[in-house]
Amino acid sequence: MDGSLGAWAARQGCSVTCGSGIKRRYRKCDSPTPDYGGKTCPGVKFDEQACSGKSACPGNCFSN
């Protein structure tokens, strides 16, 4: 049985506390998982979206 990608997980928080960053989300090969020699899941397993930190950068930004 070939595997198929499951639902997207919730997006993670922004990668920075200030300035421009990214939010990521993932999905697993679990709907169903490959079995009996089936193929692994084709397709995109993660997704990124631009985001902004909650404040303006004071000169340097810190990653979460």
When comparing pLDDT for 52 and 48, which is higher? 48
CA distance 24 to 6: 16
* pLDDT of 63 over the 60 cut: no
Separation in Å, CA 43 to CA 26, 47, 59: 12, 11, 39
When comparing pLDDT for 60 and 36, which is higher? 36
Check: pTM over 0.75? Answer yes or no: no
Q: Give the CATH class of 1-54.
A: mainly beta
pLDDT in tens, 9-40: 999 999 988 888 999 999 999 999 999 999 99
* pLDDT of 6 over the 80 cut: yes
**Mean pLDDT score of the chain, rounded to an integer?**
88
Delimit the domains of the chain by residue range: 1-54
